[in-house]
Amino acid sequence: MRDSIVRLEKAAKAFATPEGQTVTALDAIDLDVKRNEFLTLLGPSGCGKTTLLQAISGFVQLDAGRILIDDEDITDRPPYRRPVNTVFQNYALFPHMTVGENTGYALEVAGVARAERTRRVADALRMVGLEGMEGRKPRQLSGGQQQRVALARAIIARPKLLLLDEPLSALDKNLRQSMQIELKTLQHELGISFIFVTHDQEEALTMSDRVAVLSGGRIQQLDTPRAIYDQPKNSFVATFVGASNLFEGEATRGQLVTKDGIAISHGRPDATGAATALIRPEQFFLAQPGDTAPSLDVDLEQIVFVGSTFELFGRTATGRRVIAEIPAVRRSLVGEIEQSRRARLAYDPAAVHLLPGEAA
C-alpha cells in the first residue's frame, strides 16, 4: 500500500458533445502511480489523457470511481484542497506578477512568512536555473524560461504529485530535448512522483519509468518504455509507439503466413492461430549475397536520408508497404540499391514480436 502515491479505482468520465453524442473520455480506469515514479500518459489527442490528468488535479469531476492520494480519498475535493500541482501546457504564468511572485504564489496562499518565502523562491528558481530572476515579469522571458518558472512555481510547495500537461510542446526541438533530461533529473532530486502527459512517443520513452498508452479512454498498456516498444500488447500500441511493420496472419511452427502469402519467421515455435508479427524498421538490414537470414524482397519507392539513418520505403510484390531503417554508415550498400531500386530486407527471427490476434 505505501508503495503507491496515487490510485485511481474505476475512474469513469463521459462528455456530451454539442451534437448530442456521448464521448467516453475515461472508461473505468484503474491506475497506480508509485512513489517517486515518472509516469507518462501517452496517446493521440482525444484519448482521455488530459481528462485523466484533470481528474487528478480536480478540474474534472468523475462520473464514477475514486481517486486516492496517499490512501486518502480526494475524489470530491476541490482543486485547491489537493496535494497536487500542475505545470500547464501554456505555462499559465500570472502576467501581472513578477517571476518571484509567481513562484512564491503557492506559499503566499498557504500563509508562509515573507522571509521564508523569499528564501524558498530563491531556492526553487536556482533549481530550475533562473537564479536572481525574481524581479522580471513573465513577458520579459523566453518561452524556455517561462517554462522553468512554471515548473518552479509548481514544485515550490512540495506537492505529493506533480502533473505536467504537455509542458514541452511549445518549445523548439533542441530546447525540448535538454528540458527532458532536466525534468528527469529534477524529479530524482525532488523525490516526488511526476505524471507527464504527452502525445510525443519519443518524449515518453526518453523520460519515463513507466508509460501508460491510452486510447479510447482505456489504458492499452502500462509498462516500462522498453517493454512498450519491444513487446507491445496490441497493434495500437505497436503503431502509436515508434514506426512499425505489421504482418497479420496465421502462426504455425515458427512461421507466420499472411493472406497474401508472405511468410515471416519468428522465434516462437509454440505460437499458433491468428497473430500479427511486428518488425521494427531498424530491425531490417540489407541482405548480402550468401546471407541465410530470412528476408523480404521489396521494390523501393523512396530512399530518405535523415542524417544518422536512411529510411527506405518499399513495397512487396503483393503491394504491402514496408519501412526499413538502415544506419547511414552502410552508405555503400545504399548506393547499390539506389541504382537497382530493389532491396532484400533481412531480419533476425528472434527480434520479431508476435501480437495476439488480427491487426485492427
Partner 1 sequence: MSSIAFRRRAQLAILLGPVSLFLAVFFLGPLAIMIVTSFLAPGLYGGVEWTWYPHNYGRILGFADPMFEDFDPVYIAIFLRSLKIAALTVVATLFVCYPAAFCISRLSDRWKNFCLFLITLPFFTSLIVRLFIWVLILRQTGLVNEVLLGTGVIARPLELIYTDGAIILGMVYVFIPFMFMPVYASVEKLDWTLVRASLDLGAGPIRTFLRIILPLTAPGIAGGAVIVFIPALGNFVVPAILGGAKVMMLGNLIEQQFLAARNWPFGSALAMMVMTVMLVLLFIHVVVSGRRGFDPATGH
Instruction: For 226-238, give one letter per residue: b (16+ CB within 10 A) or e.
Output: eebbebbbbbbbb
Binding span for partner 1 by CB under 8 A among 84-92, 190-198, 322-330, 345-353: 84-92
Is residue 110 close enough to count as binding partner 1 by CB under 8 A?
yes
Q: Which of 92, 175, 243, 354 binds partner 1 (CB under 8 A)?
A: 92
Is residue 95 close enough to count as binding partner 1 by CB under 8 A?
yes
Is residue 78 close enough to count as binding partner 1 by CB under 8 A?
yes
Strand partners, 72: 69
Comparing CB distances to partner 1, the nearer of 60 and 298 is 60
> Taking Cα atoms as reference points, which of 246, 99, 333, 204 lies closest to residue 194?
204
Closest distance of CB 146 from partner 1, Å: 13
Is residue 157 close enough to count as binding partner 1 by CB under 8 A?
yes
The binding track of 119-138 with respect to partner 1, each residue x by CB under 8 A or -, is ------------------x-
Comparing CB distances to partner 1, the nearer of 137 and 268 is 137
Comparing CB distances to partner 1, the nearer of 60 and 213 is 60
Q: Which of 51, 57, 193, 258 binds partner 1 (CB under 8 A)?
A: 57
The helix (H) or strand (E) run that includes residue 278 is strand 273-279
List Cα–Cα distances, 318 to 259, 277, 310, 321, in angstroms: 10, 17, 24, 9
Quick one: cell of 289?
Answer: 549475397
Binding span for partner 1 by CB under 8 A among 73-81, 128-136, 266-274, 299-307: 73-81
Question: Total residues at the site for partner 1 (CB under 8 A)?
Answer: 26
List Cα–Cα distances, 93 to 110, 130, 237, in angstroms: 18, 15, 35
Quick one: cell of 319?
Answer: 503491394
Comparing CB distances to partner 1, the nearer of 85 and 201 is 85
* Position 270, amino acid: D
Measured distance CA(306)–CA(228) in Å, rounded: 25
Comparing CB distances to partner 1, the nearer of 139 and 253 is 139
What is the three-class DSSP state of 244? coil
Comparing CB distances to partner 1, the nearer of 88 and 313 is 88
> Taking Cα atoms as reference points, which of 316, 243, 313 lies closest to residue 283?
243
Q: Which residue has the cell 533562473?
A: 130
Cβ-proximal residues to 101 (8 Å cutoff; 6+ apart), any chain: 94, 108
Is residue 139 close enough to count as binding partner 1 by CB under 8 A?
yes
Comparing CB distances to partner 1, the nearer of 2 and 96 is 96
Interface with partner 1 (CB under 8 A)? 57-59, 78-81, 84-86, 88, 90, 92-96, 105-106, 109-110, 137, 139, 153-154, 157
